[in-house]
Amino acid sequence: MTLVREQGSPGSSGPSARPRELAPRSGPATVGASKLHAQLTGVTKLFPAPSGENPVHALGPIDMAVERGEFFAIVGPSGCGKSTLLDILAGLAAPTDGTVVFENKPISGAVPPGIGVVFQEDASFPWLTVWDNVAFGLRRAGLERGETTKRVEHWLRFMGLADFARAHPAHLSGGMRQRVCIARTLVLEPRMILLDEPFGALDQQTRLLMGDELLRLWRATGATVVLITHAIDEACMLADRVGVMTARPGRFADVAVTRWPGDRDSRIVSDPSFGQLTGRVWSILRDESIKAIGHAEGDIGGRSP
């Protein structure tokens, strides 16, 4: 199901599996046409500047292909266009240039069915209980009541929220609220799940455990997962492939294939090859982050770009 097994790589049988050499050049790893789930071609995004200045070139041109059932992570310095990329992939924003295809159909103007999105910020509905938050989408879709109850209860249990079903989000911690949002998305059984720095606000330990949960639900659902994160360890530990983005305008500087086994968990962080992988990703990201900070300083100093 994963890209790793697709390419028939031998020896990826345990947490000690070694990552393959990083692809030397930027650009997506190629994906067989039958396995193709979503594809971005030449995607560029410009934001109009507020007051007649030059528009902000936020993203691209970028090419990206995600395989069905793949776990694809995207890391990049802050402000490089990761959220913009996710918005475009979800159909929430239109690219200035380029095309987006999901399940062989071009995306235009609306979120296609089959895509679920978990946002960076808490998006739980404070006026609904946890149960009603999770049931929200199913009710709107007019699913039969018994089936709704069954699915909601399953995902509440899966996300460890069963005891909080009748609480309101205001009474939960940030991490628990993010779980509510994840459950609310998963209950609709999306075929592709997009997550934008979902654990950004959590502490390191909780993040690792949430990562495990993400792997668990990825295996349980068989869905394609695209995870945006600023945490290199998170990306390297969870994903089949890690796209490393440049400073704004974001492009892929590299796409690293991790070759972890499908049944991996957070313990692979102690694997020597994990350090090797994160080291390589960091060496690219370090330069780009310096550039990103340089941009910001330039902006502050008022120098023209």
- The residues binding ligand ADP (CB under 6 A) are 47, 56, 58, 76, 78-84, 248
Question: Which structure tokens are listed for 234?
Answer: 């998170």
Q: Identify which of residues 152 and 284 has a Cβ nearer to other proteins in the complex.
A: 152
Q: Identify which of residues 127 and 286 has a Cβ nearer to other proteins in the complex.
A: 127
At a CB cut-off of 8 Å and minimum separation 6, what does 97 contact?
42, 43, 44, 60, 61
CA dist., res. 4 & res. 53, Å (int) = 46
Residue 32, interface with other proteins (CB under 8 A)? no
Measured in residues, the chain has a length of 305
Is 74 within 8 Å of 85 (Cβ atoms)?
yes
Which of 78, 136, 174, 287 lies at the binding interface for other proteins (CB under 8 A)? 136
Residue 106, interface with other proteins (CB under 8 A)? no
Which of 48, 127, 145, 294 lies at the binding interface for other proteins (CB under 8 A)? 127
Question: Which structure tokens are listed for 169?
Answer: 């989000």
Q: Which does 143 bind (CB under 5 to 8 A by kind): Mg ion, ligand ADP, other proteins, none?
A: none
Residue 83, interface with Mg ion (CB under 5 A)? yes
CA dist., res. 168 & res. 55, Å (int) = 42
At a CB cut-off of 8 Å and minimum separation 6, what does 211 contact?
199, 234, 237, 238, 266
Q: Identify which of residues 130 and 292 has a Cβ nearer to ligand ADP in the complex.
A: 292
Q: Which one of 111-119, 154-162, 208-216, 286-294 is the stretch in contact with other proteins (CB under 8 A)?
A: 111-119
Phi/psi region, residue 40 (left: phi>0; alpha: psi -120 to 50; beta: rest), is beta
Which of 33, 170, 205, 303 lies at the binding interface for other proteins (CB under 8 A)? 170
Q: Identify which of residues 74 and 187 has a Cβ nearer to Mg ion in the complex.
A: 74
Q: Using CB under 8 A as the criterion, which residues of the chain lie in contact with other proteins when the complex forms? A: 90, 92, 110-111, 113, 115-117, 119, 121-123, 125-128, 136-137, 140, 168, 170, 188
